[in-house]
């Protein structure tokens, strides 16, 4: 049975940017601070010394793209909220070079792209050792839930790493998330990667899941339309007013207890 995403279990459809268009500069700073504090509390924002002392499993350097962190956050939230058991997302760490005690981030365009100009801050991704196999129906069902709730659109086989009993989503760049227009058809590319004998059932369930999503979308249409109109109104896009404005945070303030 497909896990219901109908009216009895509403989808939490949301915009995928961390800083919403209707946030003023103070609200944006608070949102960024809360996000970084959570990373710090979860052991995902570390000094170089902390990163070395924890003897974390092998990682791959991913440059300074904070969009990967936000994308990971959205998928991980969907996993936790929906009780998914077979899908995981690798940990991604923000690591500060020796001597660095602060983080400076900026919104660099009207779409809310988040970036750091410092070359002394790096992002590392947990390296997952693959045990290549076909993906089973239960895992595909959970991927359907990820797509429906986050709008993640990059569910190609090359971005999925299988272990013995888990599928890891490894490419989490925020540009691949379209929560108001999820692309279920992208999942069709997994057809050849599914266990033998399950392809027909996969097609039927994929169609059913998309129809369920569209029914709920219609039910939420007035709310979504209102949000879209606000989002498209340039005069109400407060975020444009602080593009390229630096937001600076010290480790000391990020170490404060979460509100």
C-alpha dihedral (225, 227, 231, 234), degrees to nearest 10: 80
* Apex 110 CA angle, 97 and 150, nearest 5: 80
Residue 105 CA to residue 248 CA, distance in Å, equals 7
Does the pTM surpass 0.85? The reply is no
Cα 1–chain centre separation: 26
* Apex 247 CA angle, 152 and 106, nearest 5: 45
Secondary structure (3-state) at 179: coil
pLDDT at site 220: 67
Residue 2 CA to residue 152 CA, distance in Å, equals 19
CB of 184 within 8 A of CB of 147?
A: yes
Residue 113 CA to residue 107 CA, distance in Å, equals 6
Give the domain ranges of the chain.
25-254
Q: What is the pLDDT of residues 47-84, one digit of tens each?
A: 999 999 988 888 999 888 788 898 999 999 999 999 99
Per-residue pLDDT of the chain (259 residues; tens, 9 = 90+): 333 333 344 444 444 567 877 788 999 999 999 999 999 999 999 999 999 998 888 899 988 878 889 899 999 999 999 999 999 999 999 999 999 999 999 988 876 778 888 889 999 999 999 999 999 999 999 999 999 889 899 989 999 999 999 999 999 988 888 877 788 888 988 988 999 889 889 999 999 988 888 887 777 667 666 766 666 666 667 888 899 999 999 999 999 876 6
pLDDT at site 55: 84
């Amino acid at each position: 049975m497909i896990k219901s995403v109908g009216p009895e279990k509403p989808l939490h459809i949301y915009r995928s940017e961390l800083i919403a268009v209707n946030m003023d500069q103070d609200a944006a700073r608070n949102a960024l601070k809360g996000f970084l504090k959570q990373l710090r509390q979860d052991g995902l924002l570390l000094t170089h010394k902390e990163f070395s002392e924890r003897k974390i499993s092998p990682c791959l350097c991913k440059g300074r793209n904070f969009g990967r962190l936000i994308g990971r956050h959205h998928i991980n939230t969907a996993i936790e909220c929906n009780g998914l058991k077979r899908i995981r997302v690798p940990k991604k760490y923000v690591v500060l070079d020796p001597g660095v005690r602060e983080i400076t981030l900026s919104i660099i365009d009207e779409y809310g792209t988040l970036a750091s100009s410092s070359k002394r801050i790096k992002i590392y991704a947990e390296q997952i050792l693959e045990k290549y196999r076909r993906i089973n129906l239960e895992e595909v069902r959970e991927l359907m839930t990820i797509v429906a709730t986050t709008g993640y659109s990059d569910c190609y086989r090359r971005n999925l790493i299988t272990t013995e009993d888990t599928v890891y989503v490894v490419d989490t760049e925020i540009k691949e998330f379209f929560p108001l227009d999820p692309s279920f058809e992208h999942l069709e590319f997994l057809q050849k990667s599914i266990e033998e004998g399950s392809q027909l059932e996969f097609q039927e369930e994929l169609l059913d899941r998309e129809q369920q999503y569209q029914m709920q979308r219609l039910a939420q249409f007035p709310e979504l339309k209102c949000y879209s109109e606000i989002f498209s109104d340039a005069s109400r896009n407060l975020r444009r007013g602080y593009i390229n404005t630096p937001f600076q945070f010290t480790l000391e303030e990020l170490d404060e207890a979460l509100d």
